[in-house]
Amino acid sequence: MQPPPPKPGVPGAQPGYSPFSQPPTSQNQPLAPPGSQRPVQPWQQPPPGQGQPFRSAGNFVSAPGPPTGGPPGVLPGSGPPLTGARPAGPPGAFIPGHNAPPPPFARQPPGPPPPSGFRPAGPPPLTMGAVLGQGPPHGPPQGTGLAPPPPMGSTFSQAPPSGRIPGFPTQVAPGPPPTSGPYINAPPSLGQPQFAGQSMQPPSFGPPSQTRLNQFTAPPPLGTAQQAPPQSAPPFGPPPSYYGAPSPTSTPLQAPPPPTAGYGYDPTMRGLPEEFQSLSMVPLPGSMDAAVDPSALPRPADDIEPAASTWAANCHPRYLRLTCNSLPNAQSLVARWHLPLGAVVHPLAEAPPGEEVPVVNFGATSIVRCRRCRTYINAYVTFTDGGRRWRCNVCVLLNEVPVEYFCPLDANGKRKDADKRPELSQSSVEFVAPTEYMVRPPMPPVYFFLIDVSASAIRTGMLQIACDTIKASLDNLPGYPRTQIGFITFDSALHFYNLKSTLTQPQMMVVAELDDPFLPMPDDLLVNLSESRTVVEAMLDSLPAMFQNNLNVESALGPALKAAFMVMSQLGGKLLVFQSTLPSLGVGRLKLRGEDPRIYGTDKEYSLRVTEEQFYKQMAADFSKYQIAVNVYAFAAKYTDLASLGTLAKYTGGQVIHYPGFQAHTLREKFTYELGRDLTRETAWEAVMRIRCGKGVRFSTFHGHFMLRSSDLMALPAVDCDKAFAMQLTLEDTLLTTQTLYFQVALLYTSSSGERRIRVHTMAAPVTSEIGEMYRSADVGAIASLMSRLAIEKSLTSKLEDCRQAGQSRLVRALREYKNLFAVQYRTTGRLIYPESLKLLPLYVLAINKSLALRGGFHEVSVDERSAAAFEMMTMPVTRLQRYLYPSLYRIDDYLYKTAKIKADPVDLPTSLPLSAERLDPRGAYLYNDGLCFVLWVGKVVPADFIGLLYGSEAAQAPDSSKAVVVEQDNDLSRRFIAVLNTLREKNTALYQECLLVLKSCC
């Protein structure tokens, strides 16, 4: 397929500045004009239903201050359809002065001595290199000797605690959508290499290019160096009490045996955390029982929400978490750590009411950023020189404060307006981006639907529910009145719909040409929703009836994708693909290759989990390049090669939603909710994301759904509040000399309301030379998140057995390292010992290995279900993953009987039980919740009327409980049960958890 020929650049744009190709114009788009010789069958729509007036706007962000988005008059809601020729994007002009060469006062005298503060006085050789996060990372120190320690007149209302940072890393802020991409980059004049030039190249899957698929790079080799870390004092505040009182969070299950000798003397013990836990692995004296006491196993608490960082200036951990909140200062320490070192970013995480990310609008002024490393001004920068200069916390460069941003300092060296400015007092802010951050006008929200109308889509009821849900969501699609919408349906042919607003009924055109699909008309396939609302509704009303007798079982998905691409490539947007069967016609047809058990256990096993069809990779690259995100809804009962279909979502920031064996009567609510949420949730369009960090470290590998553009810039055509990303950190220097490392995530995007925004999350973490400090500061949730992603990526190149083994041996190495620290001091024979912070890691690693994505072989999990689970886990935020790995379990029958009479909320569930078969009483009923679904497990001796009360008498007698659906019955027990389910659903809004019924008697 030839995509619309990309233009090599935006006229007038600075070469290399715009990473986005110019949208093709209608002139160069290979559209077949109407009336061409291709076979087009006009079709007249049956009388439409009455349209409803378009009501609500759906902007997910308010736009305080004057909008700085698209230039006035561009992309007006009432404007002409945007499928025509578009104005060329404005040149990537920088605000004068913003990209000017650094002012001539790079050499600054040190600021006044710090009145107080958390930095030790001894100025480390702070020689932060030029660039963070891009370009020749950390090139030769440009400011060697120039950078005095930051003055302590900081913006903190109070100095951070001198101890370790127990909190988690902060969050990531979304930025304005990348219509042009390199917004986050420094201007070329700063000498930073631009990725834009390369991004203009056509995507290639051959030799490495700048536009490449996110790499599944193997984790950096973990050496086995055992040398002790430098024995310097912890750089961050006083040394911890090595043999002193345990930390308040530590509650050892069993006290360590007393040391035999050398207590307190062995210098190798320095820095070792005293507080650890242990588990006996040998039978207790006099006991014949097995080694491990199950009741002593550590298990997650009900509340797995991370605590906020104790550094007030750090962003909330819902946005950004580090796997270890004290960073190792040396390679040798990294080698001893053994676990992944990195971060999990959830840039658009939903915040509870009152904690929304504040919006900052600098108006006509440019956003204040470090002119060297491009860090956004944040709560960690310090002001000096009476408020005329500020020191970048990441690269320590002194920057001039723009005149219009000036504010005098108070006696403590703090800006007098610091508390009033969110960017100086909070670490999650959203900047309104001026025009220099765009190379084309902000795009409108675009929703394009590619719907399978083959026989199975009709038979299962999928088409009917999809049409009903889309119609019901029209009022809530974000971006009114600019929102655009369009449809293509397909079976063995492609069906296009003319939705021109002046029509009274939609017109359907059928294209049977699959080898070289074309658009039967250039315009009106993608229309402004508010203008064409009546026609769109008429179409949705009539689609199910139109195909209700369709017996066509073929699926020309590939040609349909190419056609959708042609329609969408001028604007970008979200493409929702509804697929009910294995694609069988045209390019991209797929083979039944997942049903051969013999391939398991061989070196070819992995090939089932990746696509064989280059077409899907190529389409994914094209989609990403033209700002199109693909969500794949898969409904088939049989093999549909989700590994191939999901490729479209994987590289475009999309999502795979799998309903194996979809039937309307069991999965209607789930599908309705999830499609509705997909259509109405907060979405950031044409986004790019980058995470910056201090000198000496860099993010080297990235894991999730995106396309990597340049070495560290993630392209996200659309990103929403349900997606998280992970990345691994690499030490570049042998020894870090800084005492604090800063991280800043910037997500540049277009809001649904058409504003360019940059969401920025900033956090700081201390650098340590003590392995003990690392153990104290470990974040087991973030570690599990990274380990699960690494294991899944490994499963795309290796046997499942090898993936499970890899995670397990990594865990063993880490725990052995920890145990070695104690070997001299304590009698540890027969005991598993582990730090408090990592007490759940063995459990999580086991759970990862037992997850759908990794467990068993051919017979345990179907290939498609395995792929779907893997796609899900690759985008899951940390807390959802933790719930998925270790679900909660409640004894529900007692609770329901006890509380059925209570009408009032809230539902206050009992404490969850350990997930252990011995806990299941055959007289009881249990509710299991893994965040994806509920399971009601009913014991063998539970009275039959219990099921009847909850599911109705019919379901209680049905031979197959798997089809039972919870519907409210006319009794208190049922109402209470529904209330319990709904309460749990409210805590997990990302998807809809249906409730499966398992009757022990039929198992």
Name the residue nearer to Zn ion (CB basis): 370 or 966.
370
Q: For the CB of residue 373, give the shortest distance to Zn ion in the complex, in Å.
A: 3
Q: For the CB of residue 863, give the shortest distance to Zn ion in the complex, in Å.
A: 48
Q: For the CB of residue 692, give the shortest distance to Zn ion in the complex, in Å.
A: 9
SS3 state at 745: strand
**CA pair distance 684, 716, nearest whole angstrom:** 9
Name the residue nearer to Zn ion (CB basis): 212 or 372.
372
Name the residue nearer to Zn ion (CB basis): 692 or 757.
692
664 φ/ψ angles, rounded to the nearest 5 degrees: -55, -40
763 φ/ψ angles, rounded to the nearest 5 degrees: -150, 160
Name the residue nearer to Zn ion (CB basis): 392 or 896.
392
Name the residue nearer to Zn ion (CB basis): 395 or 576.
395
Q: What residues numbered 374-403 form the site for Zn ion, per CB under 5 A? A: 375, 392, 394-395, 397
Q: For the CB of residue 394, give the shortest distance to Zn ion in the complex, in Å.
A: 5
762 binds Zn ion (CB under 5 A): no
**CA pair distance 303, 315, nearest whole angstrom:** 20
Judge whether 942 and 924 are in contact, CB under 8 Å.
yes
Judge whether 300 and 847 are in contact, CB under 8 Å.
no
Q: For the CB of residue 398, give the shortest distance to Zn ion in the complex, in Å.
A: 10
Name the residue nearer to Zn ion (CB basis): 397 or 964.
397
CA of residue 366 relative to chain centroid, distance: 29
783 binds Zn ion (CB under 5 A): no
Q: What is the DSSP string of 217-284?
A: PPPPP-----PPPP-PPPSSSSPP-TTSPPPTT---SSPPPPP-S-TTT-GGGTT--S-EEEEE-SPP
How far, in Å, are 456, 512, 633, 948 from residue 452 at the CA level?
9, 15, 10, 38
Q: For the CB of residue 8, give the shortest distance to Zn ion in the complex, in Å.
A: 33
Judge whether 712 and 132 are in contact, CB under 8 Å.
no
Q: What is the DSSP string of 560-623?
A: HHHHHHHHHTTT-EEEEEEE-S---SSTT-----S--GGGTTSTTGGGGGS-S-HHHHHHHHHH
740 binds Zn ion (CB under 5 A): no
Residue 328 β-bridge partners:
768
Q: Which two tokens stand for residue 174?
A: 């979304």
184 binds Zn ion (CB under 5 A): no
Name the residue nearer to Zn ion (CB basis): 373 or 748.
373
Residue 763, burial from CB neighbour count under 10 angstroms (0-12, 13-18, 19+): buried
Q: For the CB of residue 370, give the shortest distance to Zn ion in the complex, in Å.
A: 3
Q: What residues numbered 55-84 form the site for Zn ion, per CB under 5 A? A: none
Name the residue nearer to Zn ion (CB basis): 746 or 806.
746
Question: Given phi > 0 = left and psi -120 to 50 = alpha, else beta, which region is 431?
Answer: beta
775 φ/ψ angles, rounded to the nearest 5 degrees: -60, -40
Name the residue nearer to Zn ion (CB basis): 143 or 340.
143
In sequence order, what are the residues at sequence separation of 6 or more whose Cβ sits closer than 8 angstroms to the Cβ of residue 261? none
Judge whether 389 and 772 are in contact, CB under 8 Å.
no
Name the residue nearer to Zn ion (CB basis): 170 or 332.
170
Q: Which 3-state string (H, E, C) describes 132-161? A: CCCCCCCCCCCCCCCCCCCCCCECCCCCCC
Q: What residues numbered 802-861 form the site for Zn ion, per CB under 5 A? A: none
Name the residue nearer to Zn ion (CB basis): 75 or 373.
373
Stretch that binds Zn ion, among 249-257, 371-379, 436-444, 739-747 (CB under 5 A): 371-379
Query: First vs last Cα of the chain: how many Å apart?
Result: 51
Q: For the CB of residue 760, give the shortest distance to Zn ion in the complex, in Å.
A: 14
370 binds Zn ion (CB under 5 A): yes
Stretch that binds Zn ion, among 152-160, 368-376, 459-467, 753-761 (CB under 5 A): 368-376
Name the residue nearer to Zn ion (CB basis): 381 or 539.
381
E strands within 35-174? 41-44
Q: What residues numbered 433-472 form the site for Zn ion, per CB under 5 A? A: none
Q: For the CB of residue 368, give the shortest distance to Zn ion in the complex, in Å.
A: 11
Q: For the CB of residue 406, give the shortest distance to Zn ion in the complex, in Å.
A: 19
747 binds Zn ion (CB under 5 A): no
How far, in Å, are 166, 257, 280, 282 from residue 285 at the CA level?
39, 16, 11, 9
Query: Running DSSP on this structure, what letter comes out for residue 890?
Result: E
Q: For the CB of residue 874, give the shortest distance to Zn ion in the complex, in Å.
A: 32
Site track 316-355 with Zn ion (rule: CB under 5 A), x = hit: ----------------------------------------
Q: For the CB of residue 267, give the shortest distance to Zn ion in the complex, in Å.
A: 38
Stretch that binds Zn ion, among 232-240, 309-317, 366-374, 834-842 (CB under 5 A): 366-374
**CA pair distance 326, 775, nearest whole angstrom:** 9
Q: For the CB of residue 138, give the shortest distance to Zn ion in the complex, in Å.
A: 12
Number of residues that bind Zn ion (CB under 5 A): 8
Name the residue nearer to Zn ion (CB basis): 388 or 459.
388
Q: For the CB of residue 393, give the shortest distance to Zn ion in the complex, in Å.
A: 8
From 61, 147, 343, 373, residue interacting with Zn ion (rule: CB under 5 A) = 373
Judge whether 872 and 632 are in contact, CB under 8 Å.
no
499 binds Zn ion (CB under 5 A): no
Name the residue nearer to Zn ion (CB basis): 395 or 511.
395
Site residues, Zn ion (CB under 5 A): 370, 372-373, 375, 392, 394-395, 397
